[in-house]
């Protein structure tokens, strides 16, 4: 009990102190949240008004005529969405899709938590916890309760992201306001439970360190199994979307799986407005949760060493970040000799610093770093994977349903497909841009001593980053062209990706310049995620207006928007750095 | 009768610790008499920190460690133990004073404020009591970590390389404080590789190398032989005799 009180006191102090220290950032995040919700609400209202004005002929187009219902074709009616099966029958999409999607998401999320727990062990303590709490006169279980209470606070913060989806889910008619609130609580419960699941998996395999990595991999596969089975049924066996979804989501067996099945049914029941069922399955999940916590606390496991190991690694990473040595791992520090050899080799091959004076030195340095990291002539293994994922998404979204679309609709369809593919790629790029070398450059003091203008330094340092982006994205336009056969569109989309790449990294960098702190890392990430998502969200919300235009206009508009925002951020960055120089 | 026979507060028996295939501590055994200052000496990688972490209960090991007769991981033992880590690590969003309050709450300390204020004053943290954990320099963090470890006034204090990162004033204060702790009957186990740092304070020394104890040295006995701790250390760790030491000094 004392540890729980301590945890509550700690959380209160941390939150209040964070708020005091980062008022501006908190206000920015709240404003952005409110902005998204208000804007989303406004656009949804407009769309709803427009929909009521749909003419009789338009209405007919969406009506479902069971005799003509094609297998796997999805129809929209006034009553909602429907899907046709192989026998010419139509079924409401909502329960099938919702249940199947909920199942796939819940099992994946829980599987990931279980796998992380089994692999990484007791990874929830910081070095400060180790130093202050571990030597205190409390049982390890009591120390554990401190962290668990703190994790609940973090789960609540993570769940707050759902609020951002309010206009999409409620205004679009997918959820009633009550269902949204219940979903919020169910998701919160799931987030808390994930921490317990992770901890339980660690405690379960605590005595078997050798099999832990293997267990982690097996559980990951199990977590992804419903998705894999769905893909296999739909695309390999081609049994049809309706059958696949039914098999995956609504099978009675899936409801019986403890916690995963219950949470899935709870979510789908909330979404469908069956609140009694939702309550029943929620209570079952809570009961499971209570039993799990009881089991966790009954295990007298000495987790201090594992926690210490993890906390030390975390501490070293933090120290490196503070010392601006990010990228140099312990093993790489140990193999200093091999790095020096490699560096000499590269120095012989490539342009030297002597030939690139002033701000250009940053360009050379970053390119050289890239060459050092790469084993495939400048291409990183991670980039190849990103490209393959994007190519897969583009290929599927382009190829599969295109045949089912009327010739008149193809223009609109092309645009949606391109936007989807680009959105996926943009998200991947956004996460990749978190390791922006530019940010590291700007944290080095000597950058301010170079006798050149700040925009020039910024440009040279940034040029290397853009070249890296170009190299990483080079297979994309080729793929786009091979799939679509449209040169102009492929190039435009490539340009759009590149501009988005520049935009996300610049806004991330600007935020780092403004809030040059490490402690608010989470807040900073939330803020940069919101900023990075802002133009995409804007385009998404304006889609009903944009859809009337052709694909070139949409891509052109997006490029213009991203470019304008990038320029604004570039000016902000240069000004901030100039101030730093002074 | 040597001081080693006094009432034992800490007993380390046959402690062996392996990190994967690396033997960090090999069958280490020693005892600490209550109220003494013991130095755990050894070069880098000798296993000093491993022993400290084993005593405080952070690590799993084979062997026995007891504190006042209680297993070191028991609550009774932890009420006796205090620990100052080698690398200070603070909560970034708690102030200096809140860190002390955190420790006071964790250890259920009452009326801790006068001692807290005294510690903050002695280590020149008084004017920084509203600074946040991540705003402190490395030295300041070390001082705060030290203050937090001292706040519960433990009977047995473990200090892992306490002088590293401290400024001369803080080192002086720490040495005075160690002397006061000794006078108050508190026991200190200090790990260090800087022999001079504990020159006037130490009563006993445990010299380690490559995970093994090379010798237990009692100050009185060493002084009777007219030898210094430095000489004893090099004789045990590098096999350099007294005459070799002198010849090396003359060459210099």
**What CA–CA distance (Å, rounded) separates B232 from B235?**
5
Touching check for B135 and chain A: CB below 8 Å? no
The residue among A407 and A181 whose pLDDT is bigger is A181
Which pLDDT belongs to residue A443? 58
Residue A304: both structure tokens together? 């201090």
- Positive or negative, the CA dihedral B189, B193, B197, B200 is positive
Tokens 């790029």 — which residue?
A: A429
Which residues of chain B make contact with A25, given a CB cutoff of 8 A? none
CB contact under 8 A, B89 and A302: no
Q: What number is the average pLDDT over the span A486-508? A: 75
Q: What number is the average pLDDT over the span A426-451? A: 60
Which residues of chain A make contact with B98, given a CB cutoff of 8 A? 13, 17
Residue B176: both structure tokens together? 């005075």
The residue among A142 and A249 whose pLDDT is bigger is A142
Per cent of chain B over pLDDT 70 is: 92
Q: Which chain A residue is nearest to residue B108, measuring alpha carbons?
A: A2
What distance lies between CA B212 and its chain's CA centroid?
18
The residue among A122 and A136 whose pLDDT is bigger is A136
Residue B55: both structure tokens together? 């005593």
Touching check for A126 and chain B: CB below 8 Å? yes
Touching check for A1 and chain B: CB below 8 Å? no
DSSP 8-state secondary structure symbol assigned to residue A408:
G
**What CA–CA distance (Å, rounded) separates A569 from A507?**
6
CB contact under 8 A, A128 and B107: no
Which residues of chain A make contact with B105, given a CB cutoff of 8 A? 2, 5-6, 9
Q: What number is the average pLDDT over the span A428-456? A: 62
Which residues of chain B make contact with A131, given a CB cutoff of 8 A? 83, 85, 88-89, 145
Touching check for B155 and chain A: CB below 8 Å? no
The whole domain housing B214 covers: 3-251
Examine the pLDDT at A55 and tell me if it is beyond 50: no
Which pLDDT belongs to residue A455? 75
Which pLDDT belongs to residue A68? 47
Examine the pLDDT at B153 and tell me if it is beyond 80: yes
Which pLDDT belongs to residue A413? 56
Q: Element (H or E) spanning B192, and its range?
A: strand B187-192
CB contact under 8 A, A137 and B75: yes
Taking a contact as any Cβ pair under 8 Å apart, which residues of chain A between 139 and 178 contact chain B? 139
Mapped onto helix, strand or coil, the DSSP state of residue B216 is: strand
Which pLDDT belongs to residue B100? 93
CB contact under 8 A, B93 and A18: yes
Task: Give per-residue pLDDT as tens, A336-366.
Answer: 445 445 545 544 444 444 444 567 777 777 7
Contacts of A276 (CB under 8 A, 6+ apart): none
Q: What number is the average pLDDT over the span A256-278? A: 82
Q: How confident is the model at residue B104 (pLDDT cuts 50, 70, 90)?
A: very high
| Sheet strand arrangement including B62-67 | B22-33, B8-19, B62-67, B70-71
Which pLDDT belongs to residue A312? 82
**What CA–CA distance (Å, rounded) separates B11 from B2?**
17
Phi, psi of A550 (to 5 degrees): -90, 170
**What CA–CA distance (Å, rounded) separates A94 from B3?**
81
Examine the pLDDT at A77 and tell me if it is beyond 60: no
CB contact under 8 A, A21 and B132: yes
- Positive or negative, the CA dihedral A11, A17, A21, A26 is positive
Number of folded domains in chain B? Answer: 1
Residue A349: both structure tokens together? 């091959």
Chain A: nearest CA to B105, how far in angstroms?
7
CB contact under 8 A, B102 and A132: yes
DSSP 8-state secondary structure symbol assigned to residue B166:
-
* Pick from A264, A272, A236: nearest CA to A248: A264
CB contact under 8 A, B93 and A136: no
CB contact under 8 A, A305 and B108: no
Helical residues (DSSP H) of A127-259, grouped into ranges = 127-133, 140-159, 166, 177-204, 212-231, 241-249, 252-256
Q: Domain containing B60 — which CATH number? A: 3.40.50.300
Mapped onto helix, strand or coil, the DSSP state of residue A208 is: coil
* Cβ contact A510:A577 at 8 Å: no
**How many C-beta neighbours within 10 Å does residue A162 have?**
15
Q: What number is the average pLDDT over the span A155-174? A: 66
Examine the pLDDT at B252 and tell me if it is beyond 60: no
Number of helical H runs and strand E runs in chain B? 9, 10
Which pLDDT belongs to residue B95? 92
Residue A426: both structure tokens together? 């943009």
Q: Element (H or E) spanning B14, and its range?
A: strand B8-19
Which pLDDT belongs to residue A351? 40
Q: Element (H or E) spanning A82, and its range?
A: strand A80-84
CB contact under 8 A, B57 and A134: yes
Q: What number is the average pLDDT over the span A471-496? A: 72
Per cent of chain A over pLDDT 70 is: 52
Option in B59, B89, B108 nearest A305 (CB): B59
Touching check for A317 and chain B: CB below 8 Å? no
Which pLDDT belongs to residue A417? 56
Task: Give per-residue pLDDT as tens, A185-223.
Answer: 888 888 888 888 888 888 888 777 778 778 888 887 887
Examine the pLDDT at A582 and tell me if it is beyond 70: no
Highest mean pLDDT among A46-50, A152-156, B116-120: B116-120
Give the CB-side neighbour count of residue B79, counting CA atoms within 13 A. 8
Task: Give per-residue pLDDT as tens, A435-446.
Answer: 555 666 665 655
Which pLDDT belongs to residue A522? 57
Q: What number is the average pLDDT over the span A35-48? A: 68
Contacts of A4 (CB under 8 A, 6+ apart): A145, A146, A149
Taking a contact as any Cβ pair under 8 Å apart, which residues of chain A between 243 and 302 contact chain B? 302
* Pick from A278, A203, A211, A249: nearest CA to A104: A249
Q: Which chain A residue is nearest to residue B84, measuring alpha carbons?
A: A131
Residue B134: both structure tokens together? 């991540």
DSSP B89-151: ---TTSBHHHHHHHHHHHTT-SS-HHHHHHHHHHTT-GGGTTSBGGGS-HHHHHHHHHHHHHT
Tokens 């079952």 — which residue?
A: A284
Tokens 């050379």 — which residue?
A: A364
* Cβ contact B6:B56 at 8 Å: no
Chain A: nearest CA to B201, how far in angstroms?
25
**What CA–CA distance (Å, rounded) separates A477 from A489?**
9
Which residues of chain B make contact with A134, given a CB cutoff of 8 A? 56-58
Q: Which chain B residue is nearest to residue A322, measuring alpha carbons?
A: B134
Region label for B192, one of left (φ > 0), alpha (ψ between -120 and 50) or beta (otherwise): beta
The length of chain B in residues reads: 252
Residues in a beta bridge with B62: B16
The CA-based angle A56-A57-A62, given to 5 degrees, is 95
Rounded-to-5 percentages of helix, strand, coil across chain B = 40, 25, 35
Q: How confident is the model at residue B97 (pLDDT cuts 50, 70, 90)?
A: very high
What interhelical angle do A2-21 and A23-52 show, nearest 10? Answer: 80
Touching check for B61 and chain A: CB below 8 Å? no
Phi, psi of A412 (to 5 degrees): -65, -40
pLDDT mean across residues, chain A: 70
| CB crowding A22-44: b at 16 or more within 10 Å, else e | beebbebbeebbeebbebbeebb
Which pLDDT belongs to residue A566? 80
CB contact under 8 A, B89 and A128: yes
Examine the pLDDT at A579 and tell me if it is beyond 70: no
Q: How confident is the model at residue A52 (pLDDT cuts 50, 70, 90)?
A: low
Which pLDDT belongs to residue B21? 78
* Cβ contact A526:A502 at 8 Å: no
Q: What number is the average pLDDT over the span A556-570? A: 78
Which residues of chain B make contact with A315, given a CB cutoff of 8 A? 87, 89
Q: What number is the average pLDDT over the span B149-153? A: 90
Option in A2, A17, A139 nearest B75 (CB): A139
Touching check for B121 and chain A: CB below 8 Å? no
- pTM tops 0.90: no
CB contact under 8 A, A304 and B57: yes
Per cent of chain B over pLDDT 90 is: 18
Q: Element (H or E) spanning A292, and its range?
A: helix A275-298
Give the CB-side neighbour count of residue A238, counting CA atoms within 13 A. 1
Mapped onto helix, strand or coil, the DSSP state of residue B65 is: strand
**What CA–CA distance (Å, rounded) separates A390 from A474?**
12
Calculate the alpha carbon distances from A438 to A460, A469, A496, A575 in Å. Answer: 10, 13, 21, 16
Taking a contact as any Cβ pair under 8 Å apart, which residues of chain A between 10 and 39 contact chain B? 10, 13-14, 17-18, 21
CB contact under 8 A, A135 and B105: no
pLDDT mean across residues, chain B: 85
Which pLDDT belongs to residue B190? 92
Which pLDDT belongs to residue B99? 93
Touching check for A235 and chain B: CB below 8 Å? no
* Cβ contact A251:A158 at 8 Å: no
Which residues of chain B make contact with A2, given a CB cutoff of 8 A? 105, 108
**What CA–CA distance (Å, rounded) separates A95 from A250?**
8
Query: Which of A31-45, A278-292, A306-320 is least confident?
Result: A31-45
**What CA–CA distance (Å, rounded) separates A474 from A491?**
11
Mapped onto helix, strand or coil, the DSSP state of residue A389 is: helix
Task: Give per-residue pLDDT as tens, B202-226.
Answer: 888 998 888 888 888 888 888 888 8
* Cβ contact B66:B60 at 8 Å: no
Between chain A and chain B, the number of residue pairs with CB atoms below 8 A apart is: 89
Touching check for B57 and chain A: CB below 8 Å? yes
Which pLDDT belongs to residue B148? 92
**How many C-beta neighbours within 10 Å does residue B115 have?**
17
Which pLDDT belongs to residue A222? 81
């Amino acid at each position: 009990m004392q540890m729980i009180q301590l945890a509550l006191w700690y959380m209160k102090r941390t939150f209040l102190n964070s708020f005091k220290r980062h008022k501006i950032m908190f206000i920015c995040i709240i404003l952005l949240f409110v902005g998204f919700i208000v804007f989303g609400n406004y656009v949804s209202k407009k769309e709803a008004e427009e929909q009521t004005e749909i003419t009789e002929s338009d209405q007919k187009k969406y009506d479902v005529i069971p005799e003509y219902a094609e297998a796997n074709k999805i129809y929209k009616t006034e009553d909602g969405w429907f899907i046709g099966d192989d026998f010419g029958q139509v079924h409401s999409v909502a329960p099938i899709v919702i249940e199947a999607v909920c199942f796939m998401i819940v099992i994946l999320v829980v599987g990931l938590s279980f796998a992380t727990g089994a692999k990484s062990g007791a990874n929830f303590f910081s070095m400060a916890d180790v130093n202050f709490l571990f030597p205190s006169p409390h049982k390890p279980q009591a120390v554990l309760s401190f962290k668990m209470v703190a994790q609940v606070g973090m789960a609540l913060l993570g769940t707050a992201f759902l609020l951002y989806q309010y206009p999409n889910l409620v205004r679009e008619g997918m959820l009633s306001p009550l269902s949204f609130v219940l979903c919020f609580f169910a998701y919160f419960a799931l987030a808390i439970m994930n921490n317990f699941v992770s901890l339980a998996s660690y405690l379960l395999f605590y005595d078997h360190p050798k099999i832990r990595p293997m267990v982690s991999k097996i559980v990951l596969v199990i977590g992804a199994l419903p998705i894999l089975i769905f893909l296999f049924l739909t695309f390999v066996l081609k049994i049809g979307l309706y059958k696949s979804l039914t098999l995956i989501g609504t099978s009675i067996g899936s409801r019986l799986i403890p916690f995963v099945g219950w949470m899935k049914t709870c979510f789908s029941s909330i979404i469908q407005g069956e609140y009694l069922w939702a309550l029943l399955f929620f209570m079952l999940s809570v009961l499971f949760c209570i039993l799990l916590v009881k089991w966790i606390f009954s295990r007298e496991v000495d987790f201090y060493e594992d926690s210490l190991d993890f906390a030390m690694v975390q501490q070293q990473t933090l120290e490196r970040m503070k010392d601006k040595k990010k990228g140099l791992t312990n093993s790489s520090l140990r193999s200093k000799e091999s790095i020096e050899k490699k560096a000499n080799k590269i120095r012989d091959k490539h342009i030297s610093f002597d030939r690139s004076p002033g701000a250009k030195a940053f360009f050379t340095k970053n390119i050289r770093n890239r060459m050092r990291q790469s084993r495939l002539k400048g291409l990183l293994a991670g980039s190849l994977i990103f490209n393959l994922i994007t190519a897969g998404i583009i290929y599927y979204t382009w190829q599969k349903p295109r045949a089912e679309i009327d010739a008149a609709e193809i223009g609109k369809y092309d645009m949606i497909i391109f936007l989807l593919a680009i959105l996926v790629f943009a998200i991947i790029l956004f996460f990749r841009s978190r390791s922006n070398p530019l940010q590291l450059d700007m944290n080095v003091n000597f950058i301010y001593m170079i006798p050149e203008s700040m925009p020039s330094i910024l440009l040279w340092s940034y040029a290397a980053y853009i070249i890296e982006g170009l190299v990483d994205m080079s297979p994309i336009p080729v793929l786009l062209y091979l799939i679509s056969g449209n040169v102009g569109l492929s190039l435009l989309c490539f340009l759009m990706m590149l501009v988005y790449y520049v935009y996300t990294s610049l806004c991330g960098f600007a935020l780092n310049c403004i809030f040059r702190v490490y402690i608010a890392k989470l807040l900073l990430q939330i803020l940069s995620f919101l900023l990075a998502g802002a133009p995409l969200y804007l385009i998404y919300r304006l889609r009903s207006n944009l859809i009337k235009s052709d694909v070139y206009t949409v891509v052109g508009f997006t490029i213009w928007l991203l470019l304008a925002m990038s320029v604004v951020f570039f000016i902000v960055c240069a000004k901030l750095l100039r101030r730093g120089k002074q | 009768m040597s001081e080693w026979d006094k009432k034992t507060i800490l007993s380390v028996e046959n402690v062996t610790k392996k990190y994967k295939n690396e033997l960090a501590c090999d069958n280490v055994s020693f005892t600490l008499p209550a109220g003494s200052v013991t130095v755990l000496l050894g070069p880098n990688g000798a296993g000093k920190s491993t022993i400290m972490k084993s005593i405080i209960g952070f690590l799993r090991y084979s062997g026995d460690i007891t504190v006042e007769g209680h297993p070191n991981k028991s609550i009774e033992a932890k009420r006796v133990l205090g620990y100052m880590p080698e690398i200070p690590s603070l909560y970034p969003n708690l102030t200096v004073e809140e860190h002390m309050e955190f420790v006071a709450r964790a250890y259920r300390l009452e009326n801790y404020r006068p001692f807290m204020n005294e510690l903050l004053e002695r280590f020149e943290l008084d004017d920084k009591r509203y600074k946040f954990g991540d705003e402190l320099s490395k030295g300041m963090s070390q001082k705060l970590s030290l203050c937090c470890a001292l706040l519960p006034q433990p009977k047995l204090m473990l200090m892992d390389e306490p002088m590293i990162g401290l400024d001369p004033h803080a080192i002086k204060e720490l040495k005075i404080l160690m002397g006061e702790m000794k006078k108050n009957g508190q026991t200190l186990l200090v790990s260090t590789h800087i022999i001079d740092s504990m020159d006037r304070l130490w009563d006993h020394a445990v010299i380690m190398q490559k995970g093994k104890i090379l010798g237990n040295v009692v100050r009185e006995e060493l002084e009777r032989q007219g030898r210094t701790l430095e000489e004893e250390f090099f004789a045990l760790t590098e096999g350099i005799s007294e005459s070799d030491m002198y010849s090396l000094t003359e060459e210099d």
